[in-house]
Structure 1
Amino acid sequence: MFEVAISAGSAMFTGMNTTSEHDRDLAAKLRSLSIEPAAFKTEPPKPHARRRTTPGAMFFLAATASLAAVLFNGPETLQRIQTVLAGFSGGDLAISADRVEARASDGTAVEGVRTPTEDGERSASASTREITGSGYVVAPDIATVFSKYEGRIVAVEVAAGDSVVAGQVLVRLDDAGARFALQGAEIAGRVAALALDARTIELVQARSSFARTERLAGRDAMSAQALEEAKTAVDKAENAALQARQDVEKAELEIDKAREQVEALTVRAPIAGTVTRLDAHIGDTVLSREDSVREDESLLVITDTASLVIDADVAEANIALMRPGLSGEAVLDGFPGQPFAIKVSKIAPVISREKGTVTLRLSLTSPPPGMRPAMAARIRLVVGEAAGVDAHHPPSSFEAPALGARASR
């Protein structure tokens, strides 16, 4: 093909009257460089990641371009093309299939080239390890409030969501039987007190009679038998007074018992916290604590929301890396953009056979306002050099497995 092109060019040279001596010399040189078709051997191309630009092909392109320049634009254009091709062969042709260590204009590394920065990142990641897991917000202190005695609800002093303090009145009940029992105990107590007074008077009289008899017996004015009888009367009076005193004490206990039952009809908060469930309604009759066997028979539930923690599961394979005091960060599904610091406080003594995980109890530092029990949480613990980073300033990014997915073993 190259020879045909040169022959056509020669024919054009002979038909043109304006052909110069320089042009004829150039045509003769190009004709001497012609290559026979038999010299080319067709072989199937070998697969390569990139092909090198061969000097023969570049020379062919240069010759063709030179011929076109001579025919249409003259020797000046030919000189410019030769200069450009010389620069191309000395610069771009030096780039081979081997990767060049360079940086793009936007600062990213050329594909396949490992930069010193990437080497540093890989070495840093090799010295640390992140452990992820999922769990829920838990309130360790929860009080389910029942009525100690049976009664009818006459007042409900709180509503769901109210904050209460220990000892605050929650529900008031009424029981006529308890009130009557208290009145009866109080009456019995007064009777016992009167009986004690009478026995005390009898004891004083018996002791006075014994003293008189004893003086008379000393003068031989009273027989020994009379003295013995006076002594026996004193002993009987003392026993009667002691019995009356015990009756008074028993009556007081009955009064305290009846009063405690009546006072227990006013249900008070056992702990400080928030009313998270309220089942009490005015007019309802509730059972005593001994008869209430189900939680839904309770009056209400109080949760201490000031001491919330997270119980999270991590893969059993990470148990050797777990220890109390290990720090990390957590994020709630309800507040995805507000990560906060956590620290391992307890490690469960058993492994979940079904899930292949171990449960960690995590204390919280500056959790988001509005956090509530049973909120879903995702955690990330850092083991290694990065574990020493200030836990109060966790990283802004957070990636963890979706909640509910079993941790990989």
Structure 2
Amino acid sequence: MRPARYSALFIPTLLLVALAYGALRWWQGPEVQGYVIQAVPLVQTVVGTGRVMTESRTQIGSEITAVVKERLVQEGDKVLRGDTLLVLRADDLAAQLRQAEAALAELATSRRPQAEVALRRAESLLAQAQRETTRRRDLADRALLSNEALEQAVQAEILARSAYDTARLRAAALAPGNAEEVLLQQRVAALKAQVAKTLVRAGVAGTVLTRNVEPGDLVQPGRVLFTIAREGGTEIRVPFDERNLSRLTLHQTAMVVTDAYPGQPFPARITFIAPSIDPQRGTVEVRLTVDPVPDFLRQDMTASVNVETGHRPRALAVPNDALDRVYNDQAQVLLLRNGKVHQQEVTLGLRGLAMTEIVAGLSAGDAVLADGTAPLADGTRVRFRERKAPVSRESGDTATRNELPVNFN
């Protein structure tokens, strides 16, 4: 009888205990996870993705229309200023040049001497005609010769003088340094310049990035045949979100990681911030100079840039996922006080990738909910379970290497 009595008392007692435990749990509220606020090292960074480029690139094309005879370089080749990249076929230009040079040589060896001989002959004939006119006029004055004969002599003298003037002008035109020689020399120079354009040369020293031509192709002015990355500084061009513009300044340092070599980060420095915003993408172009340049760096590599824009050795900080209704430097958190949730306004300071400095509104040791957007009414009782804030190995800021900045809109 006694065991049965104990059994009858045990079951109701167990039920009462279960009901009491359930009532306690109901009174304590739902279990929530959160963070205990404490001072940590904090780094504010701005992250973006860009491409590796030289400070300038040169596009090389042909100045004449011609067929490609030979290509002398390919992608990756190093070239110096003046190196020949391409040879064009221009037989017609070469023939015209030979013809012009032959005409210039003919001027010096044939046409000019002939003009000088013709001038001397015309001068001699003029002198003879003048003497004859003088002789006949003397005879006519003594009535020994008719006026008609005198007129014939005068007419012959006029013709001789005209022939002399023509020969003199011709000889002057063919003289060294005068019009005929200058015209031929200019034609030769122009044709030589055209022939020189059949050799497409590098205008700068650098590395050939692209080529768009092969032997046998017909090339024309305006077509890009080669792109050369000029020797000099290497930079990374990054289109940062314009919302980060206020945090970026010249000479800020950054760490860069390429997609191809993620385990080999290298430093860079901001040297240019565009004066205007891209209205289509809402970004501002920032250029970072790399010095020294790692050996593995290649043109147009994709690179992730992490610019350090601020640092606090010790800052009261809260993980970004605990923030809600962020506007400028104001936000709201769900603060746990005496086991109840309260909406608390806070003032923000330095913002990291995953942690944000709290300037006012919280104190060290305060507990806040991890989910700042949790649908809990003010004064709701909850059971708190602490979650450890993720802290990066390098700076104390909570971030992963591939994490993008939190959108605070």
Aligned partners of 1:313 and 1:357 also within 8 Å: yes
Question: What is the percent sequence identity of the aligned residues?
Answer: 22
The structural deviation recorded for 1:336 is 1.2
Match of residue 272 from structure 1: 205
Match of residue 104 from structure 2: 189
Aligned partners of 1:258, 1:406: CA distance in 2, in Å? Answer: 65
Aligned partners of 2:282, 2:196: CA distance in 1, in Å? Answer: 50
5+ residue gaps, structure 2, are: 7-19, 30-34, 128-137, 139-156, 313-392
The structural deviation recorded for 1:360 is 0.5
Aligned partners of 2:407, 2:63: CA distance in 1, in Å? Answer: 45
Q: Write the deviation string for residues 118-176 of structure 1: whole angstroms up to 9, x where unpaired.
A: 36x3xxx3xx6322222111234323332322333332222322211111122222222
Aligned partners of 2:70 and 2:88 also within 8 Å: yes
Q: Write the deviation string for residues 86-142 of structure 1: whole angstroms up to 9, x where unpaired.
A: xxxxxxxxxxxxxxxxxxxxxxxxx9484xxx36x3xxx3xx632222211123432
Aligned residue identity for 2:266: F
Aligned partners of 1:287, 1:176: CA distance in 2, in Å? Answer: 15
Corresponding position: 1:380 with 2:306: yes
Aligned partners of 2:189, 2:229: CA distance in 1, in Å? Answer: 31
- TM-score scaled by length of structure 2: 0.55
Match of residue 341 from structure 1: 267
Q: 2:66 aligns with which of 137, 141, 151?
A: 151
Match of residue 245 from structure 2: 319
Match of residue 240 from structure 1: 170
Q: Write the deviation string for residues 172-203 of structure 1: whole angstroms up to 9, x where unpaired.
A: 22222112111111122223334344445667
Structure holding more helix per residue? 1
Aligned partners of 1:238, 1:404: CA distance in 2, in Å? Answer: 88
Aligned partners of 1:276 and 1:301 also within 8 Å: yes
Summarize the Cα distance change of 1:329–1:265 in structure 2 as closer, same or farther, 3 Å threshold: same
SS in 2 for 1:178: helix
Aligned partners of 1:238, 1:352: CA distance in 2, in Å? Answer: 72
Aligned partners of 1:352, 1:400: CA distance in 2, in Å? Answer: 29
- TM-score scaled by length of structure 1: 0.55
Aligned residue identity for 1:349: P
The structural deviation recorded for 1:359 is 1.0
Aligned residue identity for 1:147: S
Structure holding more strand per residue? 2
Q: Write the deviation string for residues 256-285 of structure 1: whole angstroms up to 9, x where unpaired.
A: 222222222222222222222233333x14
Match of residue 229 from structure 2: 303
Match of residue 288 from structure 1: 220
Aligned partners of 1:182 and 1:258 also within 8 Å: yes
Aligned partners of 2:242 and 2:284 also within 8 Å: yes
Larger radius of gyration: 1
Summarize the Cα distance change of 1:256–1:262 in structure 2 as closer, same or farther, 3 Å threshold: same
SS in 2 for 1:309: strand
Aligned partners of 1:133 and 1:407 also within 8 Å: no
Q: How many residues align?
A: 280
Aligned partners of 1:379 and 1:400 also within 8 Å: no
SS in 1 for 2:214: coil
Aligned partners of 2:208, 2:286: CA distance in 1, in Å? Answer: 27
